[in-house]
Amino acid sequence: MEPEKTPRNRADNLIRLLVPDWRPTALHRLWAIRIGIVLGLLVAIGYSYGITLWDWIKLLIVPAAIAGAGLWFNRQQRERELEIAREQRERDVGIAYRRAQDEALQAYLDQIGNLLLAKDGPLRQSKEGDETRTLARARTLTVLKRLTGERKARVVQFLYEAGLIAKSRPIVDLAGADLGGAHLFTANLVGADLSEADLRAAYLTDADLSEANLRGANLGEANLNPANLSGADLSEAILGGANLILADLSEADLRGARLFKADLSGANLRGANASGACLESADLAETDLTATNLSDAQHITSEELVQQASILAGATMPNGQKYEEWLKSRGEENSGS
């Protein structure tokens, strides 16, 4: 048999029924005690003058409402002031952050400019292993870690225009450089050496990377729609999840490239060498694979290629057969069955 509940137990049960997740805090209890004391005093005083508790409530309800409204207004005003202060702090931090980035970028440009103009062993005349090249690479890698999208792009464009990252004679090695998220929209990087650079989630929309060296580069989740990558070296490059819609990859070297979940719909791969490339879950809808070498391509079958690609004339299928030979062998199999 359950013990008889006290008034407090019943009150707690009622509160839990009305507000299931409510748990009184020490402050709530303190205010309850204060209110109880005030009500007790009012009842005691009113008893001497014939004033009931209800009379006290009717008398004090208007001032209490005004006081409550005032407290609510003050609280709202305080919260608004705090919000304005917070927003101002965020703006100040953002301004300071951008200023710091601008200063870091300008300092870097000045440093590399001095190396280019140095009378004793200028950077362009340096040889592999020279201290000048080592210093230029170290400063480049350091500043790129401190910069964000647009400013990273300015570093790359500066190096390219200064002739320091041409694949024919690369002077500043960008292997391992943090170019993630770089804003390289419409950038002209024809024949640039970006091998083994980290270009994850970079914005390369409409960029011209024809004949560029991107061997081993990480272009995961990068936007290359519709970049010009014709003749580019993308061997062993990581292109997982990259947007290559309508990209020009004609004559590109994609040997061993990892294209899992890449969107290649509508892309031009005419004459590209994708031997050994990983095409797991890649979208090849309406792709032009004319004369493309797909021998030993991983995680894709010849049947899947036929279902997705728009043109396969002269292509080498994953099993090593030419497309036309594969079609013929399929026809013979069907006729034999």
Confirm whether 322 is domain-assigned.
Answer: yes
Distance CA(150)–CA(132), nearest Å, equals: 27
The token pair at 158 is 């500066």
Confirm whether 75 is domain-assigned.
Answer: no
Q: What would you report as the CA-atom Rg of the chain, rounded to the nearest whole angstrom?
A: 36
Are 299 and 229 in a shared domain?
yes
Are 190 and 157 in a shared domain?
no
Are 244 and 98 in a shared domain?
no
Question: Which residues lie below 8 Å from residue 291, measured CB to CB, with a gap of 6+?
Answer: 270, 271, 313, 314, 315
Are 153 and 193 in a shared domain?
no
Distance CA(173)–CA(306), nearest Å, equals: 41
Confirm whether 37 is domain-assigned.
Answer: no
Report pLDDT for 337: 47
Are 240 and 332 in a shared domain?
yes
Residue 223's beta-bridge partner residues? 203, 243
Are 196 and 335 in a shared domain?
yes
Distance CA(91)–CA(78), nearest Å, equals: 20
DSSP 271: T
Report pLDDT for 180: 96
Report pLDDT for 74: 79
| DSSP labels, 173-222 | --TT-B-TT-B-TT-B-TTBB-TT-B-TT-B-TT-B-TT-B-TT-B-TT-
Are 228 and 314 in a shared domain?
yes
Are 303 and 258 in a shared domain?
yes
Distance CA(266)–CA(245), nearest Å, equals: 6
Are 225 and 331 in a shared domain?
yes
Distance CA(295)–CA(32), nearest Å, equals: 80
How many Cα atoms sit within 13 Å of 53 on the Cβ side? 7
The token pair at 32 is 């309850």
Confirm whether 249 is domain-assigned.
Answer: yes
Q: How many domains does the chain have?
A: 2
Residue written as token pair 């979940």: 261
Give me the CATH number covering residue 255.
Answer: 2.160.20.80
Question: Which residues lie below 8 Å from residue 53, measured CB to CB, with a gap of 6+?
Answer: 39, 42, 43, 46
Are 229 and 299 in a shared domain?
yes
Are 322 and 198 in a shared domain?
yes
Left if phi > 0, otherwise alpha if psi is -120 to 50, otherwise beta: which for 50?
A: left
Confirm whether 14 is domain-assigned.
Answer: no
Confirm whether 39 is domain-assigned.
Answer: no
Peptide bond into 20 cis (omega under 30): no
Confirm whether 69 is domain-assigned.
Answer: no
Are 185 and 156 in a shared domain?
no
Distance CA(309)–CA(137), nearest Å, equals: 42
Q: Is the Cβ–Cβ distance between 187 and 208 less than 8 Å?
A: yes
pTM: 0.74
Phi, psi (rounded to 5 degrees) for 263: -100, 105
Full domain range(s) for residue 109: 88-164
Report pLDDT for 299: 95
Alpha carbon distance, N-terminus to C-terminus of the chain: 83
Final residue belonging to a domain, choices 138, 164, 190: 164
How many Cα atoms sit within 13 Å of 134 on the Cβ side? 3
Average pLDDT per block of 10 residues along the chain, 337 residues long: 61 60 67 72 68 66 72 80 84 83 94 91 90 95 95 97 95 96 96 98 97 98 97 98 98 97 97 97 96 96 92 94 90 57
Distance CA(209)–CA(41), nearest Å, equals: 85
